[in-house]
Amino acid sequence: MKSRRTLYLVVLLLLAGSMPGCGIDIPQLIPPTSTATATLEAAVLRTPTPEPTSPPPETPTPVPLPPRPDDFEQYPDTILRYLNDSGGDEDGLRDMLGSWNALRHVTDLLRVDTDDDGSGELLMVLVEQSMDYGINLRGDVLVVDSDDEGYKLAYHAAGDTIMLDPALIEVDDLNRDGHTEMAFSSTECGAHTCVTTVHIVTSGTGMYESLTGDGINMSYVDPYFSDWDGDGVPELIMHGGTIGSVGAGPQRERTEVYKWDGAVYVLEETVYDYSNYLYFKVLDANQALMDGDYDMAATLYREAVDNPGLNVWLEESEREEIVAFSQYRLSLVCLITGEVELAEATRDELLSAQPNSIYAQVVAVLWDAYQRETNLRAACEQVGRFAASHPEAAEVLADYGYGNPTFTADEVCPIQLFQ
Ligand SMILES: [Ca+2]
Ligand SMILES: [Ca+2]
Ligand SMILES: [Ca+2]
């Protein structure tokens, strides 16, 4: 068992090497050693039937290995022809794909039962030529099945599209419904950013079917499965999400948790990594306010005001703007929670610290209307009208790059808070 566990670790490392990394990936070409491979496969795949199952229907007969087709679209047909001609010579197949440089990892060719019929299929994660290291390698994920008539293509991930930089994540009954899933990814890099799209495919209904629609994507992510909520069923965990461009604005990574809902994988939770940017402190405060978590909102606005150690993005003037906005919001939150004295103190703090700030005007409008009507909703509407005619109010949070949310006049005082 010990050596088996060691092999499992080795395979995990190999799989880690296959995670998309936008050009920094160093694919590890492993020389084919079929005996060791079979053991590795059995170790990595925690499928209901992990052992290589029924042998190919015929005794392999040596046939010449076909040369690499010039056209990547010809790979599947060439593979099928070779398997049928050779009577399913898997060692020969590995040699052939190796000679094409179509396999980047030992686990990119597996025999595993992907359709739960009790016998193993050939699962292949192919790239056009792995010697062309770099980004945007054209690739595909294939499942080749066999019956009395020979070998045939059972699943073809790329279909009529182009699939770039494929990588296998896991083959297992991931959603614990009794059927095996294949999880794999494709990574495409643009000028600034690499985006990885994860697909989870099951054959539980008798045909290969996606449980992730067009895929679940995020930039700069290493996707994996883990039981996030402890219910015994793994979730898909996506951690990453930054954009490699200054124009995108300040960045922070996040974790998105995708949970099986009985039909598809859906976004269950988003958790942002800690960031020392003042801007994100206020975004989190805004979110807490919208969620009705007034204590949290007040705490975060207060920290934005009081903590000079929080970073600005481009220039120090951001701090004055965001602090003034936060003081206005803190005054608003205190009015909502009925802490009128605290609300008033925060208003006065803003009026004396930054009397010329646009948010000094905003807080004055809020308080004038509130004192006139003692109706927060009406006061909030008044603030909305002021913000609509003074675009500089919304601009305070609107210009933090294309990777960050917009901010509009309607959000200066969100009327939804009073519905
Ligand atoms: Ca099968
Ligand atoms: Ca399943
Ligand atoms: Ca779970």
DSSP label at residue 417: G
Instruction: State residue 132's pLDDT score.
Output: 62
- Range with lowest mean pLDDT among 32-46, 279-293, 303-317: 32-46
**What is the per-residue pLDDT across 162-184, written as a single tens digit (0 to 9) for each?**
899 999 999 999 999 999 999 99
Whether the pLDDT of residue 337 is over 60: the answer is yes
Query: Minimum-distance ligand to the CA of 225?
Result: 3
Residues 240 and 305 in one domain: no
| Residue 272, φ and ψ in degrees, nearest 5 | -85, 140
Residues 102 and 239 in one domain: yes
Residues 68 and 29 in one domain: yes
Boundary residue ending a domain (272, 305, 330)? 272
Instruction: State residue 244's pLDDT score.
Output: 84
Mean pLDDT on 8-35: 36
Whether the pLDDT of residue 37 is over 60: the answer is no
Residues 268 and 318 in one domain: no
Structural domain of 174: 2-272
Average pLDDT of the chain to the nearest whole number: 88
Q: How many domains does the chain have?
A: 2
Q: Which residues surround ligand 1, an ion (CB under 5 A)?
A: 113, 115, 117, 119, 121
% of the chain residues with pLDDT over 90:
80
Boundary residue ending a domain (243, 272, 301)? 272
Residues 198 and 294 in one domain: no
Instruction: State residue 134's pLDDT score.
Output: 72
Residues 165 and 102 in one domain: yes
**What is the per-residue pLDDT across 118-138, written as a single tens digit (0 to 9) for each?**
999 999 999 998 776 678 999
0.85 exceeded by the pTM? no
Q: What angle do CA 338, 363, 249 make, to 5 degrees?
A: 105
| Residue 267, φ and ψ in degrees, nearest 5 | -70, 120
Query: Minimum-distance ligand to the CA of 236?
Result: 3
Q: Which of 414, 254, 250, 244 is nearest to 318 (CA)?
A: 250
Instruction: State residue 305's pLDDT score.
Output: 98
Whether the pLDDT of residue 108 is over 60: the answer is yes
Q: How far is the CA of 184 from the centre of ligand 3 (A)?
A: 19
Instruction: State residue 160's pLDDT score.
Output: 85
Question: Is the separation of the CB atoms in 230 and 249 below 8 Å?
Answer: no
Q: How far is the CA of 181 from the centre of ligand 2 (A)?
A: 5
Whether the pLDDT of residue 261 is over 90: the answer is yes
Residues 243 and 296 in one domain: no
Boundary residue ending a domain (272, 299, 333)? 272
Cα gap 222→368, rounded to integer Å: 52
Query: Minimum-distance ligand to the CA of 47?
Result: 2
Instruction: State residue 20's pLDDT score.
Output: 34
Residues 208 and 326 in one domain: no
CATH number at residue 322: 1.25.40
Cα gap 128→366, rounded to integer Å: 63
**What is the per-residue pLDDT across 154-165, written as a single tens digit (0 to 9) for each?**
999 998 888 999
Whether the pLDDT of residue 116 is over 60: the answer is yes
Mean pLDDT on 21-44: 36
Q: How far is the CA of 38 from the centre of ligand 2 (A)?
A: 23
Residues 308 and 190 in one domain: no
Query: Minimum-distance ligand to the CA of 155?
Result: 1
Q: How far is the CA of 50 from the centre of ligand 2 (A)?
A: 15
Bridge partners of residue 182, in order along the sequence? 171, 201
Residues 33 and 132 in one domain: yes
Query: Minimum-distance ligand to the CA of 177?
Result: 2
Residues 181 and 77 in one domain: yes
Q: How far is the CA of 113 from the centre of ligand 2 (A)?
A: 12
Residues 228 and 108 in one domain: yes
Mean pLDDT on 227-251: 95
